[in-house]
A and B are shown apart, each in its own frame.
Chain A
Amino acid sequence: EAQVTQNPRYLITVTGKKLTVTCSQNMNHEYMSWYRQDPGLGLRQIYYSMNVEVTDKGDVPEGYKVSRKEKRNFPLILESPSPNQTSLYFCASSPPTGGADGANVLTFGAGSRLTVL
Protein backbone atom coordinates (compact mmCIF):
# COMPACT_ATOMS: atom_id res chain seq x y z
CA GLU A 1 0.00 0.00 0.00
CA ALA A 2 1.29 3.43 -0.97
CA GLN A 3 1.74 5.43 2.18
CA VAL A 4 3.63 7.92 4.28
CA THR A 5 4.54 6.60 7.73
CA GLN A 6 5.31 8.86 10.68
CA ASN A 7 6.59 7.90 14.10
CA PRO A 8 5.86 8.45 16.89
CA ARG A 9 2.16 9.22 16.57
CA TYR A 10 2.02 10.72 20.03
CA LEU A 11 4.80 12.12 22.17
CA ILE A 12 4.99 14.07 25.40
CA THR A 13 8.39 15.51 26.20
CA VAL A 14 10.02 18.24 28.26
CA THR A 15 11.64 21.49 27.24
CA GLY A 16 15.14 21.05 25.87
CA LYS A 17 15.10 17.29 25.33
CA LYS A 18 16.09 16.60 21.73
CA LEU A 19 13.67 14.53 19.70
CA THR A 20 13.26 13.23 16.17
CA VAL A 21 10.04 12.50 14.31
CA THR A 22 10.64 10.04 11.51
CA CYS A 23 8.91 10.08 8.13
CA SER A 24 9.17 7.43 5.45
CA GLN A 25 7.38 7.05 2.10
CA ASN A 26 7.25 4.04 -0.22
CA MET A 27 6.16 5.79 -3.44
CA ASN A 28 9.58 6.86 -4.68
CA HIS A 29 8.47 10.49 -4.45
CA GLU A 30 11.04 13.20 -5.01
CA TYR A 31 9.30 15.90 -2.98
CA MET A 32 8.76 15.70 0.78
CA SER A 33 7.59 18.30 3.25
CA TRP A 34 6.81 18.86 6.92
CA TYR A 35 3.84 20.88 8.15
CA ARG A 36 2.50 21.85 11.52
CA GLN A 37 -1.20 22.22 12.13
CA ASP A 38 -2.47 24.64 14.75
CA PRO A 39 -6.10 25.65 15.41
CA GLY A 40 -7.18 28.61 13.32
CA LEU A 41 -3.91 28.65 11.37
CA GLY A 42 -4.33 25.70 9.07
CA LEU A 43 -1.18 23.94 7.88
CA ARG A 44 2.07 25.84 7.80
CA GLN A 45 5.13 24.50 6.06
CA ILE A 46 8.22 23.95 8.19
CA TYR A 47 10.78 22.50 5.75
CA TYR A 48 10.68 20.82 2.40
CA SER A 49 12.96 18.74 0.21
CA MET A 50 12.96 18.62 -3.57
CA ASN A 51 15.17 15.51 -3.65
CA VAL A 52 18.00 13.72 -1.85
CA GLU A 53 20.40 16.17 -0.18
CA VAL A 54 18.21 19.13 -1.26
CA THR A 55 16.32 20.79 1.58
CA ASP A 56 15.08 24.31 2.24
CA LYS A 57 13.14 26.34 4.76
CA GLY A 58 9.40 26.74 4.61
CA ASP A 59 7.38 29.40 6.35
CA VAL A 60 8.05 28.47 10.00
CA PRO A 61 11.50 26.78 10.18
CA GLU A 62 12.74 28.23 13.49
CA GLY A 63 13.62 25.56 16.02
CA TYR A 64 13.58 22.69 13.52
CA LYS A 65 16.10 20.80 11.40
CA VAL A 66 15.69 18.20 8.69
CA SER A 67 17.86 15.91 6.59
CA ARG A 68 17.32 13.97 3.39
CA LYS A 69 20.05 11.36 3.06
CA GLU A 70 17.80 8.82 1.37
CA LYS A 71 14.90 9.36 -0.96
CA ARG A 72 12.37 7.60 1.24
CA ASN A 73 13.20 9.23 4.59
CA PHE A 74 12.79 12.80 5.79
CA PRO A 75 13.17 13.10 9.58
CA LEU A 76 12.20 16.22 11.51
CA ILE A 77 14.57 17.11 14.34
CA LEU A 78 13.80 19.34 17.29
CA GLU A 79 17.18 20.03 18.88
CA SER A 80 15.81 21.85 21.93
CA PRO A 81 12.01 21.69 21.99
CA SER A 82 10.02 24.49 23.56
CA PRO A 83 6.34 24.67 24.56
CA ASN A 84 5.48 26.77 21.48
CA GLN A 85 6.37 23.72 19.39
CA THR A 86 3.44 21.81 20.87
CA SER A 87 1.46 20.98 17.76
CA LEU A 88 0.22 18.37 15.33
CA TYR A 89 2.85 17.58 12.72
CA PHE A 90 2.33 16.13 9.27
CA CYS A 91 4.79 14.77 6.78
CA ALA A 92 3.76 14.67 3.12
CA SER A 93 5.24 13.61 -0.20
CA SER A 94 4.50 14.00 -3.90
CA PRO A 95 6.03 13.62 -7.34
CA PRO A 96 8.05 16.67 -8.52
CA THR A 97 6.18 19.92 -7.96
CA GLY A 98 6.73 21.31 -11.43
CA GLY A 99 4.25 20.67 -14.20
CA ALA A 100 0.48 20.67 -14.24
CA ASP A 101 -1.44 17.44 -13.95
CA GLY A 102 -0.69 15.58 -10.77
CA ALA A 103 1.53 18.27 -9.39
CA ASN A 104 1.14 19.00 -5.72
CA VAL A 105 -1.27 16.16 -5.00
CA LEU A 106 0.27 15.43 -1.66
CA THR A 107 0.08 12.15 0.22
CA PHE A 108 0.06 12.80 3.95
CA GLY A 109 1.11 10.74 6.93
CA ALA A 110 -1.35 10.17 9.79
CA GLY A 111 0.22 12.89 11.92
CA SER A 112 2.35 13.13 15.06
CA ARG A 113 0.91 14.95 18.06
CA LEU A 114 3.71 16.49 20.07
CA THR A 115 3.37 18.05 23.51
CA VAL A 116 6.30 19.93 25.03
CA LEU A 117 6.00 20.61 28.76
Chain B
Amino acid sequence: AQSVAQPEDQVNVAEGNPLTVKCTYSVSGNPYLFWYVQYPNRGLQFLLKYITGDNLVKGSYGFEAEFNKSQTSFHLKKPSALVSDSALYFCAVRVFSGGYNKLIFGAGTRLAVHP
Protein backbone atom coordinates (compact mmCIF):
# COMPACT_ATOMS: atom_id res chain seq x y z
CA ALA B 1 0.00 0.00 0.00
CA GLN B 2 1.14 3.52 -0.70
CA SER B 3 1.87 5.42 2.48
CA VAL B 4 3.97 7.97 4.29
CA ALA B 5 5.27 7.64 7.84
CA GLN B 6 6.60 10.12 10.35
CA PRO B 7 8.12 7.94 13.05
CA GLU B 8 8.38 10.64 15.73
CA ASP B 9 5.37 12.24 17.38
CA GLN B 10 7.53 15.00 18.80
CA VAL B 11 11.03 16.33 18.32
CA ASN B 12 12.69 18.52 20.93
CA VAL B 13 15.69 20.66 20.10
CA ALA B 14 17.49 23.58 21.68
CA GLU B 15 17.53 26.91 19.89
CA GLY B 16 20.60 27.23 17.69
CA ASN B 17 21.04 23.48 17.27
CA PRO B 18 20.38 21.65 14.02
CA LEU B 19 17.04 19.91 13.66
CA THR B 20 15.81 16.92 11.70
CA VAL B 21 12.21 15.79 11.25
CA LYS B 22 12.00 12.34 9.72
CA CYS B 23 9.76 11.06 6.93
CA THR B 24 9.72 7.77 5.05
CA TYR B 25 7.46 6.80 2.18
CA SER B 26 6.21 3.83 0.23
CA VAL B 27 4.92 4.51 -3.28
CA SER B 28 5.09 2.89 -6.66
CA GLY B 29 7.03 4.79 -9.29
CA ASN B 30 8.91 8.03 -8.77
CA PRO B 31 7.75 9.89 -5.67
CA TYR B 32 6.61 13.49 -5.50
CA LEU B 33 7.27 14.55 -1.90
CA PHE B 34 6.19 17.58 0.11
CA TRP B 35 6.59 19.20 3.51
CA TYR B 36 3.94 21.42 5.06
CA VAL B 37 4.01 23.31 8.38
CA GLN B 38 1.10 24.17 10.64
CA TYR B 39 1.47 26.98 13.15
CA PRO B 40 -1.03 27.24 16.03
CA ASN B 41 -4.52 28.23 14.89
CA ARG B 42 -3.43 28.38 11.29
CA GLY B 43 -3.87 26.24 8.21
CA LEU B 44 -1.05 24.23 6.70
CA GLN B 45 1.56 26.14 4.73
CA PHE B 46 3.71 24.72 1.95
CA LEU B 47 7.43 24.52 2.81
CA LEU B 48 9.11 22.65 -0.02
CA LYS B 49 8.75 19.83 -2.52
CA TYR B 50 10.82 17.26 -4.36
CA ILE B 51 9.81 16.36 -7.90
CA THR B 52 13.07 15.43 -9.61
CA GLY B 53 16.68 16.57 -9.84
CA ASP B 54 18.97 17.55 -6.95
CA ASN B 55 18.39 15.40 -3.88
CA LEU B 56 18.76 18.40 -1.57
CA VAL B 57 15.76 20.69 -1.82
CA LYS B 58 15.70 24.16 -0.28
CA GLY B 59 12.48 25.73 0.91
CA SER B 60 10.97 28.51 2.96
CA TYR B 61 12.24 29.82 6.32
CA GLY B 62 15.70 28.24 5.90
CA PHE B 63 14.41 24.67 5.77
CA GLU B 64 15.75 22.03 3.44
CA ALA B 65 15.01 18.38 2.85
CA GLU B 66 17.10 15.52 1.57
CA PHE B 67 15.61 12.91 -0.74
CA ASN B 68 17.20 9.48 -0.33
CA LYS B 69 15.84 6.96 -2.81
CA SER B 70 17.62 3.92 -1.38
CA GLN B 71 16.27 4.60 2.11
CA THR B 72 12.91 5.88 0.80
CA SER B 73 13.24 8.91 3.04
CA PHE B 74 12.67 12.64 2.78
CA HIS B 75 13.89 14.14 6.05
CA LEU B 76 13.35 17.82 6.82
CA LYS B 77 16.36 19.70 8.16
CA LYS B 78 17.48 23.10 9.35
CA PRO B 79 21.04 23.98 10.40
CA SER B 80 20.06 26.26 13.30
CA ALA B 81 16.64 26.03 14.94
CA LEU B 82 14.63 29.04 16.09
CA VAL B 83 11.98 29.13 18.80
CA SER B 84 9.60 30.40 16.12
CA ASP B 85 10.08 27.11 14.22
CA SER B 86 7.99 25.37 16.88
CA ALA B 87 5.00 23.97 15.00
CA LEU B 88 3.42 20.81 13.60
CA TYR B 89 5.13 19.45 10.49
CA PHE B 90 3.52 17.18 7.90
CA CYS B 91 5.20 15.14 5.23
CA ALA B 92 3.10 14.22 2.19
CA VAL B 93 3.50 12.11 -0.92
CA ARG B 94 1.59 12.36 -4.19
CA VAL B 95 -0.04 9.16 -5.32
CA PHE B 96 -2.23 8.25 -8.26
CA SER B 97 -5.43 6.78 -6.89
CA GLY B 98 -8.99 6.58 -8.13
CA GLY B 99 -8.03 8.15 -11.44
CA TYR B 100 -6.39 11.27 -10.17
CA ASN B 101 -3.36 12.55 -8.27
CA LYS B 102 -3.84 13.10 -4.55
CA LEU B 103 -1.70 13.78 -1.51
CA ILE B 104 -1.35 11.33 1.36
CA PHE B 105 -0.24 13.00 4.58
CA GLY B 106 1.75 11.60 7.46
CA ALA B 107 0.42 11.83 11.01
CA GLY B 108 2.54 14.89 11.73
CA THR B 109 5.52 15.62 13.99
CA ARG B 110 5.41 18.32 16.60
CA LEU B 111 8.64 20.29 16.75
CA ALA B 112 9.42 22.04 20.02
CA VAL B 113 12.39 24.41 20.03
CA HIS B 114 13.48 25.44 23.52
CA PRO B 115 15.31 28.70 24.27
Contacts and interface: CB of A to CB of B under 8 A. Distances in A.
A100 B107 CA distance: 25
B108 A42 contact: yes
B42 A97 contact: no
Given A50-B100, A90-B43, A110-B42, A42 B51 contact: no
Contacts of A50: 100
A109 B43 contact: yes
A105 to B, nearest CB: 5
A107 B42 CA distance: 12
Interface in A58-117: 58, 90, 92, 97-98, 100-101, 103-111
Contacts of A98: 100-101
Contacts of B100: 50, 97-98
A48 B102 CA distance: 10
A98 B101 CA distance: 7
A103 B32 contact: yes
B94 interface: yes
B46 A41 contact: no
Contacts of B44: 43, 90, 92, 106, 108
Interface string B79-115: 0000000000010001000101111011110000000
B90 A43 contact: yes
Contact of A40 (B43, B105, B107): B107
A42 B106 CA distance: 6
Contacts of B105: 35, 42-44
19 contacts: A40-B107, A41-B107, A44-B105, A45-B102, A92-B44, A97-B101, A98-B100, A100-B32, A100-B51, A103-B32, A103-B94, A104-B32, A105-B34, A105-B46, A107-B46, A108-B36, A108-B43, A111-B41, A111-B43
Interface of A: 4, 35, 40-45, 48, 50, 56, 58, 90, 92, 97-98, 100-101, 103-111
